[in-house]
Structure 1
């Protein structure tokens, strides 16, 4: 992702400076305290900020809640989950706009907001056991040993495949494949001047994190591990795909054109797309994205030669926090518990399955596929979402580290910096960050 310069840094500093002492969601009895409005019998109005388009599930969720809870009405505010959108959310919180609940889509963003004091500590609330409800993978979302949000979804990342194109090329649907094998698939599936493989920018760097989540972002001596050989392999291989093989879009072209990668895949223009489960909100929408091919699914290819040394991004996601400055924390908490325990089921139509053990998973699965089930290779879909036993990680690398490495690898992909300089600069800047932030 691209950093938005001095403004993003300024907002982060202002957020930190704006922390108010005593901003906690907990009361002495282990429950959020009743707001003055609720105590007085008035209707409480909440605003929930999230990155999913309202028509892809959120509006139906809120309609269900609002119908049954006239005393607490929730409004949805959409922000796009990119640098600009996250800056919009942070600015809204900092300037005191109405933000009662907000969805974090990475642990990096959540940690940044916790550090800035804008996420209420939910560990003080004892009437809902997040560990018990969500299972052992919830541990990945604890920040300094505490929950500042509830991870609400089963999160999957995968490569979506045009099954008809695979069949025509006599290629099987992979269940475990390497980066080199994916590159060969891209060559065989490429048609004319088109691409064989394309990526959504959100999981663009997941191959790097799949290595460093396993090996460590720092070495035994505490210095940067961004010069890991597999980091270099990813950079050089992807550069070959962009420049030599012409099997994937050059990064510069993708960023400047805001390339509609989902549309390009669903139109049949590109046969492989690296993305997450949110693809289903578009692939189920035949009105805006008509298609005449079946979609299959494969795990994200691994850089490591040995599968035992590989991790994949996934587990739990959609970490929903309560604004520490909200005047309606109890009402927000009541809504959040309902949402997590199955109220969010309409979100499954967009690929977001509820994580809570108390949610109706059968109903969620039915909602996810709707009447389009026969347009998917369901065996491979179930595999990547439920049966793939590869260990998962949640991206926890600090946002500052994500920014510095993206700034350097963009120079490489844009031909303004060679690979050796890129590796050296990433390590140098990471080490400088580590010296200034030894706890990281």
Structure 2
């Protein structure tokens, strides 16, 4: 199995990526706060594996890093290791939730300079917004070879041919499967090129009292339509929007039927208002399939808080039709770590970011965050991911899907377009607007916002 794991990782945003859901509590550490002297000049590597970015200044520097992963799932161990090796540059981790309110909280802190020196971006649209706001440092002259360290997928995160953050992990998005339920229903693990029609049939056969056929994490709700338009192109040959394409129409209709006809997946309004903990429900056996990213590993591997005795298998995010060409999969690289351009300690923050990307983030591997840097020992990361839970996963599908290599994408449209599109498809899934009007409005607003 390990040979397959080491062959390469490719495939979520989708993934995007979602950095996790949960409360808004900020996580702190006992990091020592310091003076406001700029750090980084004369930096040197120490024997502890960190970078003594404040060496020679005689003053202590405090950096604050914002991310969406709960402290106990790895970030606190990361900053603790850095802080022990770098007494002159102490880092505090602050947790924010990767949703609209959480990102607004982060953006406010970045703009006002409120203790936000480093921060994680989970979508290209969010990063673009922060670049436009002047809160992301251009890394062109940093001396850190992002292309060489991270490989060709890193280029998907370039903005105006420049990097404004380091893509630190391998992104993966897929369908999590309760293999025991599949076996009981006589269903094989799906083929790699399955479709939404196939998924619908699986969901109908797997749905029963107290068990949904399919649940979807918020971060994965648009994985198929994003992968579809990434292949088709955002616009048609005549320059008009491709947001009204027939493949979107088919996928939206199938999902709507699953909600309101088959009852195999929750109605959109119910999931929205109840804030369904879909990953917890899947691990408790209340769903046979879950569309989510690798970030669910942190719960799936935590058998103390999320006990389960079934084996988990994996399938790709399905296409709309079997003959669909140029389909892209939610994946590539993610967790882009940026330095705030308004930070008083930019050099020290950059030293931490480079250390984090080149192995400092390894404590995150057990939660599914596999480092993308070629400086990191892949075997060590894989061992951490599977330690103690090897028997909880189907090895064949894990090799093919989770650690397979697929053509991936980062959706490159402004956040305003994403927001406007969401407003329209929500009307359809809340039965406030028909599908034809939904597609027409999405295309019209895409064209108008693009012109602006």
TM-score, structure 2 length as denominator? 0.87
Counterpart in the other structure of 1:412 = 428
Q: Shift in Å at residue 93 of structure 1? A: 1.1
Q: Shift in Å at residue 95 of structure 1? A: 2.1
SS for the counterpart of 1:202 is helix
C-alpha separation in 2, matches of 1:194 and 1:435:
46
Q: Shift in Å at residue 123 of structure 1? A: 0.9
Q: Shift in Å at residue 176 of structure 1? A: 2.5
Q: Shift in Å at residue 208 of structure 1? A: 0.6
SS for the counterpart of 1:209 is helix
Aligned residue among 106, 109, 113 for 1:92: 109
Residue 66 of structure 2 is aligned to residue 49 of structure 1: yes
Counterpart in the other structure of 2:238 = 221
Aligned residue among 412, 416, 420 for 1:400: 416
Q: Shift in Å at residue 192 of structure 1? A: 2.5
Counterpart in the other structure of 1:155 = 171
SS for the counterpart of 1:422 is helix
C-alpha separation in 1, matches of 2:386 and 2:213:
26
Counterpart in the other structure of 1:433 = 449
Would you say the 8 A contact 1:130–1:150 is kept in 2? Answer: yes
Q: Which runs of 4+ in 1 moved over 3 A?
A: 35-40
Counterpart in the other structure of 2:281 = 264
- Map 1:275-294; keep pairs closer than 5 Å: 275-294=292-311
Judging changes above 3 Å, is the alpha-carbon distance between structure 1 residues 143 and 28 closer, same or farther for their aligned structure 2 residues? farther
Residue 195 of structure 2 is aligned to residue 178 of structure 1: yes
C-alpha separation in 2, matches of 1:36 and 1:413:
51
SS for the counterpart of 2:249 is helix
Counterpart in the other structure of 1:345 = 362
C-alpha separation in 2, matches of 1:61 and 1:87:
25
C-alpha separation in 1, matches of 2:282 and 2:249:
28
Counterpart in the other structure of 2:265 = 248
Q: Deviations over 1:57-77 (max 9, x none)?
A: 111111111111111111100
SS for the counterpart of 2:445 is helix
Q: Shift in Å at residue 308 of structure 1? A: 4.3
Would you say the 8 A contact 1:208–1:231 is kept in 2? Answer: yes
| More deviation, 144-153/188-197 | 188-197
- Map 1:259-338; keep pairs closer than 5 Å: 259-306=276-323, 308-338=325-355
Q: Shift in Å at residue 195 of structure 1? A: 1.4
Would you say the 8 A contact 2:230–2:327 is kept in 1? Answer: no
Would you say the 8 A contact 1:120–1:324 is kept in 2? Answer: yes
Counterpart in the other structure of 2:253 = 236
Residue 384 of structure 2 is aligned to residue 384 of structure 1: no
SS for the counterpart of 2:403 is helix
Q: Deviations over 1:324-367 (max 9, x none)?
A: 01111111111111111111111111111000011011111111
C-alpha separation in 2, matches of 1:392 and 1:281:
23
Q: Deviations over 1:226-271 (max 9, x none)?
A: 0110111111111000000000011111111001101110000101
C-alpha separation in 2, matches of 1:238 and 1:403:
20
- Mind listing any 5+ residue stretches in structure 1 that lack a counterpart? 2-24
Counterpart in the other structure of 1:133 = 149
C-alpha separation in 1, matches of 2:251 and 2:388:
39
Counterpart in the other structure of 2:438 = 422
Would you say the 8 A contact 2:193–2:322 is kept in 1? Answer: no
Would you say the 8 A contact 1:313–1:395 is kept in 2? Answer: no
Would you say the 8 A contact 2:111–2:342 is kept in 1? Answer: no
Would you say the 8 A contact 1:38–1:44 is kept in 2? Answer: no
TM-score, structure 1 length as denominator? 0.89
C-alpha separation in 1, matches of 2:104 and 2:148:
33
Would you say the 8 A contact 1:198–1:273 is kept in 2? Answer: yes
Provide the aligned C-alpha RMSD in A: 2.2
Would you say the 8 A contact 1:281–1:350 is kept in 2? Answer: yes
Residue 158 of structure 2 is aligned to residue 109 of structure 1: no
